[in-house]
Structure 1
Amino acid sequence: MQTTLLEAIVKRRGALALASAVTLSLALAGCGSSNGGSAAKADDKGIITVNTVEPQNALIPTSTNETGGGRVLDALFSGLVYYEPKTGEAKNELAESVESSDQVVWTVKLKKDAKFSDGSPIKADNYIKAWNYGANPKNAQLASSFFEVIKGFTAGPTKAGAQAPDVPELSGLKKIDDYTFQITLNQPTSDFALRLGYSAYAPLPDVAFKDMKAFGDNPTVTSGPYTLKDKGWKHKESIELVKNENYSGPRQAKNGGLTFKIYLKSDAAYADVQSGQLDVLDDLPAAAFSTFKSDFPESNANQPVAIFQSFTIPDRIKHFGMDEEGRLRRQAIAYAIDRETICKTIFQDTRVPAKDFTSPSMPNYEKVMKQTKGGEVLKFDKAKAKELWAKADAISKYDDTFTIGYNSDSSHKDWVDAVANQLKNNLGIKAEGEAFPDFKGLRDAITKQTIKGAFRSGWQADYPGMSNFLEPLYSKNGNSNDGKYNNEQFNKLMIDIAKLPVGDEQDMKFAEAQSILFTDLPAIPLWNSNVVGVWNKDNVSNVAFNWKSEPVYYEITKNAK
């Protein structure tokens, strides 16, 4: 494995000035796709039309932990750092510097020329107030656990419907002057600076705190390369963004704005990009996997990215608790799935069978995998699956229907049906998909814990680090721990990992943590995704996809007519 700049910086435990922090271990040579006709004259006022699904919640950085709203927030808001599209390297965006001599106390100096879209300066208070708001469970923030490492954090209730406690502000945040603030953590955290490009750490303007609900529905004062057109969120139809003329950072928009068209069916989006009604699409219907290259011979992409797909089985589901019966059933299901066949027949080799709970694009991936135990459960073995299921039935007979919830406004039906059929054929049980009309409906059922069975899950990396695939999804207080998994040994390992510098000891802890997950299987790993995208080359040029699968929206240019 190559040694990243972040590794060298952390090992010497010196000052951290984020010009470049980490490079994905997967060689992404050529990951930027064909330029789609970059010789065409560009219309810098042109609006780029792209796809999304209806966000689950308001457009507040700490209210989102799903990709429908996340991609919009990334365009609207800036972080202290951003991630270079091709490699995932962390570079300064709103920060002049982020420094620490002990990985506990961090000093942030802001760029003094940075402004919100209304022209007001971005100051230390905009971060301190935003982070205190986001960390407070009274505000029902989905991303609050990203502040857990900061001194003074108080966790919210773990049971659905429980009332959140009154909490003090984060004592670890201290204003030094208008453009400098200090962050004190609960413990040394080697990758803290790397995390700061995630949208949860974005600053908020003063106007947001006058009425946060109204702001989330209409965030027209933003810090990123775009801002929302006034009343530009037309629910279940579109989200219209315009270029932020006051943005002075490195992600300068080369177009006049973005219109996120909200689709209920990916085949409708595919038809629109073919006809020119949509410029760029990164969610193809399964039926198009065998034809997209011929349909778009000069304007397609198929490249590995930091995405992990699974389905989660909450331990509150009868017969699937974290006991002997439940573990036997989870292992049986893992063995019963022929991932390779699904990847070939449904996804046409645009997916790779998962070997663990993270992504091959993470630093030191191979070293961690060599030390991880239990991964054999991801190898298809019908006989082993039936044997384990029979052992579980000897404890308590299973007569229910195993369901996998998914949203039908995206391309998930085919693989869910395929997995359900394999479970029926290989385990001799009743299994089927449970379709929700849209992503928001599925997410609401998951977060309210009203869903009755398993549900599709997975992760698109927030920042390029292995911890990001593990801590949010499986730690007790993880903001995306939708299955409410709680293993004390795993929780402790995540705390220990955060204290360690990049290197052999940290890799060993990652392996230990994944070995625990392979024993408990709170989620069933399926595959790692490629981003598969197409675009209408008559409409747009300079189309590329970033390290975590999304179009690099600010680089896309509209062809002048």
Structure 2
Amino acid sequence: MTPRRRLAGIGAFTLASALLLSACGGGSGDNPEATGGDGGPTTGIVTVSNGEPQNPLIPTMTNETYGSKVINNLFAGLVYYDADGAVKNEMAESIDTEDQQTYTIKIKDGWKFTDGTPVTADSYVKAWNYGAKLSNKQNLSYFFEPIEGFSYEKDSELTGLKVVSDTEFTVKLMQPESDFKTRLGYAAFMPLPDSFFDDPKAFGEKPVGNGPYMLDSWEHNQQISLRPNKDYQGARKVQNGGIDLIAYTEEDTAYNDLLSGNLDIVTNVPSSAFATFEDDLGDRAVNQPSAVIQVVNVPEYLPEWGGEAGHMRRQAVSMAINRDEITKTIYNGSRTPATDFTSPVIDGWSDDIPGNEVLKYDPERAKQLWDQAEGISKFGDKAITIASNADSDHQTWVDAVCNNIRSALGVDCEFAPFPTFDEFLDARDNQTLKGLFRGGWQADYPAMSNFLGPIYGTGAGSNDAQYSSKEFDAKLKEANGADTPEKAIALYKEAQTILFKDMPGIPLWYQNVTAGYGEDVDNVVFGWDSDPLLYQVTKNS
């Protein structure tokens, strides 16, 4: 899971550094007398596995998991999502609409950024306009597309945004959209202080937010330290002395640090421990469904994967993959074979969308399709490659998928590794990949639309394969404008039938949260989107 959620695995660090930095407390902000957002005493510093963010820490620029863990804790938006994905007001006093096209938003008075300046309606309007502006090249600009005045062709102000007072603004959309409020807890919609506009580059290194935590330090490729924001007024009350997000080069190293007491929370258990981690950790093991899907994306700029022959090849690769066997043998049942492009934890998910038979293992039909494609245009003797980052354990499943492809299609298949997650993302974003590539998606907000528009909509910020379909875009727009959730779900399913025909991405499996935590921490809860609710974690030392 691109917009926010390009899934990584674990990123860049070493065991020696981890042992040095992940001891109890640690970091310049370690203070046993620290206070939480409600002014009450907190417990120790909680250490969490993470990696190096790809981009500066700017809400409208951050669209991958490493950076999002930081942004989501530094900033408070109009709403937030609880552990179950329910939408709760945070800075919003009210969000009202009579027609689902014009929204009146009132914010709570008295909130401040950590530089002491007030958070006002203008803080939202200026931030959204900046994020939407074409020349600012923000990864999450797509999310402002529904607002009147948005343009992909030129710089323009969001004319649909109007400041009424310091505590009120209005939003006019281009069409009614019933789930607009649901989206407002996502990073793209966070407010920004005036200091951001003075120097965005400096801000990206040391952001100033209004959330439950504030940035204490960022040691690149090593550690990001967050400490409680004593002025935070929202419901996400901090119950610890701070968070240290530690970067790792190996998921196995992070897991071993957890077992030895040198790390408090592992957010992703390595595949080598899937069969044992629940026995290792007992009731401290986490294995629960989440809004995460894994896919293999097909770059539209590669001619061998385009046209009639290319679409046959996409279907052939999909039908060559034995998802049942891989999820059982490699993931020990912690993954579920995909039947659509969304997630079973999202309202509207279905296992009977027309066209999804291409997700069923059928090596004979796969070979027929591949041979038919060869009769139209030759793929040649080159290997199918699947690119991903090597600083996680993705090679395990890529090797299994390649074995399936070689066996069913008689074509060589290879893992194309990049040393780190950010190097892989840069190659993908610069369109230098020579073959297929991994795409993981962790939902930004709990709705079907988030699994479709940001990834497959023309020009969308997470449309990494550069897919474009007027038919799909039109159906997506129709679904977004539906006047009831039930109508929207039916239309999103219709949109998926188009995706199953074109296969811009090949869905593999839905991903459980497979995580764990140490003996020194309590109140560890992983939410609907697979992220831990760090603010409520307590630590005994």
Please give the TM-score of this superposition, normalised by the length of structure 2. 0.91
Superposed CA deviations along residues 399-440 of structure 1, whole A, max 9, x for unmatched, are: 221111111122211011111111111111111111111111
Unmatched 5+ stretches in structure 1: 1-41, 157-164
CA displacement at 1:83 relative to structure 2: 0.4
The secondary structure found in structure 2 opposite 1:297 is helix
Alignment of 1:323-342 (within 5 A): 323-342=307-326
Residue number among 126, 131, 135 corresponding to 2:128 in the alignment:
131
Find out whether 1:213 has 2:198 as its counterpart.
Answer: no
State which of 480, 487, 496 in structure 2 corresponds to 1:514: 496
1:226 aligns with 2:213: yes
Counterpart Cα distance in 2 of 1:555 and 1:140: 35
CA drift of 1:78 comes to 1.1
Matched, 1:543 2:520: no
- Where does residue 7 of structure 2 map in the other structure? none
- Residue in structure 2 matched with residue 202 of structure 1 by the alignment: 190
Describe the SS at the equivalent of 1:526.
Answer: strand
Q: List gaps (5 residues or longer) in structure 2.
A: 1-39
Q: What residue identity is the alignment partner of 2:130?
A: Y
How far apart are residue 118 of structure 1 and its match?
2.8
Q: Provide, for residues 269-322 of structure 1, a one-character-per-residue CA deviation record: whole Å limited to 9, x for no partner.
A: 11111111110001111101011012111311100011011010112113101x
3-state DSSP class of the match of 2:122? helix
Residue in structure 2 matched with residue 363 of structure 1 by the alignment: 347
User: Which residue of the other structure, out of 468, 472, 475, is the alignment partner of 2:450?
Assistant: 468
Alpha carbons 1:363, 1:466 under 8 Å: kept:
yes
Instruction: Report matched runs for 1:16-415 at 5 Å.
Output: 44-85=42-83, 87-155=84-152, 165=154, 167-219=155-207, 221-229=208-216, 232-321=217-306, 323-366=307-350, 369-370=351-352, 372-398=353-379, 399-415=381-397
RMSD: 1.3
SS state of the match for residue 150, structure 2? coil
Matched residues in 2 for 1:136 and 1:318: separation?
Answer: 32
Aligned to 1:492: 474
CA distance in 1, matches of 2:440, 2:203: 29
- Counterpart in the other structure of 1:162: none
**Paired residue type of 1:138:** S
- Partner residue of 1:525 out of 500, 507, 510: 507
What is the alpha-carbon distance in structure 1 between the residues aligned to residue 115 and residue 232 of structure 2? 10
SS of residue in 1 equivalent to 2:52: coil
Matched, 1:479 2:457: no
- CA distance in 2 between counterparts of 1:553 and 1:114 reads 21
How many residue pairs match? The answer is: 501
Distance 1:249 1:75 in 2: 12
Give, in angstroms, the shift of residue 245 of structure 1: 0.7
Q: Tell me what 1:17 maps to.
A: none
Paired with 2:429 and 2:492, the residues of 1 have a C-alpha distance of 27
| Alpha-carbon spacing, 1:225–1:311, altered in 2? closer, same or farther (3 Å) | same
Question: Contact 1:254/1:554 (CA < 8 Å) preserved in 2?
Answer: yes
Report deviation, 1:43: 7.6
Offset at residue 113 of structure 1 (A): 2.6
CA distance in 2, matches of 1:504, 1:171: 30
Counting aligned pairs with the same residue, the percent is 47
The runs of 4+ residues in structure 1 deviating greater than 6 Å are none
Distance 1:137 1:204 in 2: 18
Any conservation in 2 of the 1:254–1:557 contact (CA below 8 Å)? yes
**How far off is 1:504 after superposition?**
4.0
Determine the C-alpha separation between the residues in 2 that align with 1:89 and 1:45.
28
Contact 2:318/2:359 (<8 A) preserved: yes
Whether the 8 Å CA contact 1:172–1:184 is kept in 2: the answer is yes
Verify the 8 A CA contact 1:332 1:389 in the aligned structure 2: yes
CA 1:51 to 1:43, structure 2 compared with 1: closer, same or farther past 3 Å? Answer: farther
Answer yes or no: is the 8 Å Cα contact 2:285–2:515 preserved in 1: yes
Aligned-pair distance for 1:45?
A: 4.0
Counterpart AA for 2:190 = A
Distance 1:241 1:442 in 2: 27
Distance in 1 between the 2:100 and 2:384 partners?
A: 46
Contact 2:340/2:349 (<8 A) preserved: no
In 1, Cα distance between equivalents of 2:147 and 2:392: 37
* Distance in 2 separating the partners of 1:120 and 1:45: 28
SS at match of 1:298: helix
User: How far 1:79 sits from its partner (Å)?
Assistant: 1.1
1:477 CA displacement: 2.1
Maintained 8 Å contact 1:43/1:558: no
| Corresponding residue for residue 13 of structure 1 | none
Partner in structure 2 of residue 10 of structure 1: none
CA distance in structure 2 between the partners assigned to 1:404 and 1:115 by the alignment = 46
SS at match of 1:390: helix
- What is the match of residue 403 of structure 2? 421
Q: Is the 8 A contact 2:43 2:540 kept in 1?
A: no
Deviation at 1:458, TM superposition (A): 2.6
| Whole-angstrom distance in 1 between the partners of 2:172 and 2:135 | 22
Report the Cα offset of residue 90 of structure 1: 0.2
CA distance in 1, matches of 2:79, 2:294: 27
Give CA deviations for 1:435-456 in whole Å, capped at 9, x if unaligned.
1111111111111111111110
The match for 1:5 is none
Query: Equivalent residue of 2:246, what SS?
Result: strand
CA separation in 1, counterparts of 2:57 and 2:457?
25
Q: String of CA shifts for 1:93-125, please: whole Å, max 9, x gaps.
A: 010001111111111100003221233221011
What one-letter code is carried by the residue in structure 1 that aligns with 2:445? Y
- SS of the aligned residue for 2:471 comes to helix
Shift of 1:507: 2.6
Instruction: For 1:486 and 1:296, locate their aligned partners in 2 and report how far apart those are by CA, in whole Å.
Output: 45
Q: How many angstroms apart in 2 are the aligned matches of 1:503 and 1:216? A: 37
Q: Which amino acid aligns with 1:350?
A: S
Inter-partner Cα distance in structure 2 for 1:502 and 1:404: 40
Please give the per-residue CA displacement for 1:247-280, whole angstroms capped at 9, x wherever unaligned: 0101111011111001111111111111111100
| Distance (whole Å) between structure 2 residues aligned to residue 546 and residue 117 of structure 1 | 26
Q: Which whole-Å CA distance do the structure 1 matches of 2:250 and 2:270 have between them?
A: 8
State the AA in 2 paired with 1:172: G
Task: Give the drift of 1:503.
Answer: 4.1
**Distance in structure 2 (CA, Å) of the matches to 1:123 and 1:153:** 22
Deviation readout 1:173-201 (Å, 9 max, x if unpaired): 11000110011111111111110000110
1:31-67 residue CA offsets vs partner (Å, 9 max, x unmatched): xxxxxxxxxxx98141110011211100000101111
Q: Is residue 43–residue 538 contact of structure 2 (8 Å, CA) maintained in 1?
A: no
* SS of equivalent residue, structure 1 residue 250: coil
